[in-house]
Chains A and B, each alone.
Chain A
């Protein structure tokens, strides 16, 4: 069953008086099955971020449709959209986006507080997640007191705590050192195996090589995709590299 269906979305940015038009996405279609781990790759300016914003309902496509768990995003009323996002989507960002006025614990509980949950329930949900992520000792700390890897794990915990249908990760390893990157990717693999659907946008071949499937975007279109099949991470890494080389050198679609 497809949890996310993207069909023929197009996004054109217009300057205020309509003088200039920039086409960010021309025609993107793909779908993500429940429990899948999908990476989207593409160069700067290929439309990755635009796509992610549209999937996150932060932006609306010019045309085309996005269905998340059967709900057409464009049909959701403006007033309900934040609630929808909160209940169905979890976000992990490159720069963590933790609030520095909150402790890690409060940062993680933030979506639940916004959803108006009872404190007892929040606690009950918090404990298993932070234990799984190995940050239970840091709950009283503030973001500036912990390392980047720990911050990102807290951000993952914040994304997981609402039990979202889909986790959207935007360059999650972009600001991490190699050790933390490895740890985070391992973590992503682990939560995916537990059934969590993940969609990750990335530059990093290494990060993408942990996914089940890799989509390539070029000039606002899905240019190519690779399924993992039975390949190991290393083999997938090699395939992605090859594909990128072809992409860069302007090769034709295979």
Chain B
């Protein structure tokens, strides 16, 4: 009989408080499951063996730490809430003659039951769903895995250890709480006489100004470089502003409405408004955190999934054709050699080039001041404002017409221009030391890897003859005291109809012949002469790049997805508990209201409007944040080579929609629980 007493007491304790304990245990199960799955993926040999799998695993092991820390915080938070709620019950046991030692045994049993349930069920679900996760990762990486089912002992051990420690710490904390408090205190439930919150105009105003400033920054920034630099400034401004607005702004706003007697003394507004002041004071910080957390998560998920889905696009931006040969040489004659090598190899593999893109260009970087680009080494080195640094590509008009299939002509002193990442809005452009041109604009040209991979904006200029420009650039370089001469870049891209494997073979064969020895043999030059030519060759195959690219993006994506899921669950759970606490505090208030003559319907309405406000304020705010962050994020993504704003818009909206749906579901559950608590004994 005595043996079963404490476990029995613990079990009834849990069963009686199931409204608060079930979500806690579910959190435990969920966290254990996620932790195991992420650890499993990052340690699983099958994932490691996939193409790009190692890179994904690298990202995931970062995720383990984050999930570990987050679950610790979350479980501690929820437990402290549970303990607070149960102090009264423990106080009663204490007065009935149970010593603190006995109470500790009850708590010990409770913790044991919860920990074992969470870990066992969590691991069970984890093992079950780990295969699904593995399949998903293989899908992300366009890879395949077998259907064999494995349990990773390392991951199992790590999860057990980590959560074992967390639960022991939580137990110690609960015991400490019980030992610290006196029975009378245990009996006393909630404190009475909370000071009414005061409106803080200054902080509210600062919040509005900061938020306005951040939003202004977000929508006015035009070029990606400034966007990158100011992104973090804007993020910090938004974070501070969100806290200020939720903590001080909300109270001030309510107070302002209360000042308006006609508005305030209306049945609908009276109760809600005066309770909201207190609610916001208690929950302002929490709601702000939830708002920021969900905004970050949503931005993270939408941008990583955009990078993943738009990966092929980005690849095409960087590598507009299957194979790209770029030869940089001061004199064009040696460029021919590499074209020959490629021709030979293609003949050998019985392939022909398709969709050829072939053009020449000379390039230089300078500082844009007004409509003038200045080439000055000192300025270039000291310039902090990177958004002013532009790359200039000067290309023969003939090449442009051939590639674009146009027949553009230019008058004397005129140039066709095309700018990326930024706008050039002047009618005339001066290149310091090269000349002044009237501008004629064009909206497109083939993407180019040099431009895509750098964050500076680029100006493509098409002129009838590049020789003048080349000579001028050589003069500029000489003036800067540089010995080498400017390159003429030969850009040659083409598609192949054959499989990616064969493309890789051709690629490797070409690369074998790009060595010094081959060049010497083919051109009959001495080693010294070859080196003097100062030739740079880059040959790239999209097929080869794709794997690395995919791995990186999938890694980002998987991490974003998992962390996003965990954070959102956490945020929503915190909301749930906040509402439950409120419910208990509101219980007596609604009892009074009913006695004073408020109908059940009115009470229900008032409850709904308050819960709705508290619940959806962070969601709406984060929606607004995301709306303003959108232009900034889309500019940042152009730095990664993702130009597809529409894709980002669709994905962002989609993510927000899914999140909102999930949020609404939790709201329905929460408001039910809240209503149940408030109406206990007095309504219905």
Contact = CB atoms under 8 A, between A and B. Distances in A.
- Same complex origin of A and B: yes
A110 B270 contact: yes
Contact of A144 (B193, B267, B602): B193
A158 interface: yes
A238 interface: no
A214 to B, nearest CB: 25
A30 interface: no
B274 A79 contact: no
Given A99-B589, A114-B267, A116-B267, A86 B193 contact: no
Contact of B596 (A79, A83, A87, A158): A158
A122 interface: yes
A45 to B, nearest CB: 19
Nearest to B258: A106
B598 interface: yes
B251 to A, nearest CB: 13
B402 to A, nearest CB: 77
Most central of B261, B266, B596 by chain A CB within 10 Å: B596
B267 A113 contact: yes
A137 to B, nearest CB: 18
Contact of B597 (A83, A100, A142): A83
A82 B277 contact: no
Given A100-B192, A101-B274, A144-B193, A113 B597 contact: no
A81 B262 CA distance: 27
Contacts of B270: 106, 110, 113-114
Contacts of B267: 113-116
B519 to A, nearest CB: 85
A82 B270 CA distance: 17
A85 B597 contact: yes
Nearest to B590: A99
A117 to B, nearest CB: 8
B85 to A, nearest CB: 21
Given A109-B265, A144-B192, A58 B601 contact: no
A119 interface: yes
Interface in B594-623: 594-602
Contacts of B597: 82-83, 85-87, 89, 111, 114-115
| Chain B: interface size category | 20 to 34
A91 interface: yes
Nearest to A164: B597
A169 to B, nearest CB: 13
B15 interface: no
A56 interface: yes
Contacts of A113: 265-267, 270
B602 A106 contact: no
Contacts of A114: 267, 270, 596-598, 602
A83 B597 CA distance: 6
A216 interface: no
Contacts of B194: 100, 144
A61 B602 CA distance: 25
A159 B258 CA distance: 23
B interface secondary structure, majority: helix
A102 interface: yes
A127 interface: no
A101 B277 contact: yes
B351 interface: no
A93 interface: yes
B598 A142 contact: no
A97 interface: yes
B334 interface: no
Given A113-B267, A144-B193, A102 B261 contact: no
B157 interface: no
Contacts, number: 72
B278 interface: yes
Nearest to B601: A79
A51 to B, nearest CB: 16
A235 B64 CA distance: 82
Contacts of B274: 99, 101-102, 106
B310 to A, nearest CB: 51
B596 A86 contact: yes
Contacts of B277: 101
B265 A99 contact: no
A115 B270 CA distance: 12
B111 interface: no
Contacts of B193: 100, 142-144
Contacts of B278: 101
Interface string A114-142: 11100100100000000000000000001
Contacts of A101: 196, 274-275, 277-278, 589
B214 to A, nearest CB: 33
A119 B599 CA distance: 21
Contacts of A100: 192-194
A82 B596 CA distance: 8
B592 interface: yes
Interface string A202-214: 0000000000000
Contacts of B262: 119
B265 A82 contact: no
A86 to B, nearest CB: 3
Contact of A122 (B192, B265, B602): B265
B194 to A, nearest CB: 7
Given A119-B261, A144-B192, A79 B589 contact: no
A112 to B, nearest CB: 8
Contacts of A119: 261-262, 265
Contacts of A89: 597
A113 B596 CA distance: 11
A81 B274 CA distance: 25
Interface of A: 56, 58, 79, 81-83, 85-87, 89, 91, 93, 97-102, 106, 109-111, 113-116, 119, 122, 142-144, 158
23 contacts: A56-B595, A58-B594, A81-B599, A83-B597, A85-B597, A86-B597, A97-B595, A99-B274, A99-B589, A100-B193, A101-B274, A101-B275, A101-B278, A110-B596, A111-B597, A114-B267, A114-B598, A115-B267, A116-B266, A122-B265, A142-B196, A144-B193, A144-B194
**The 9 residue pairs across chains A and B that have the minimum distance between CB atoms:** A86-B597, A144-B193, A82-B599, A97-B592, A113-B270, A119-B265, A101-B274, A85-B597, A119-B261
Given A102-B274, A109-B265, A114-B596, 13 more contacts: A79-B599, A82-B598, A97-B592, A98-B592, A99-B589, A99-B593, A101-B277, A114-B270, A114-B602, A116-B267, A119-B262, A144-B192, A158-B596
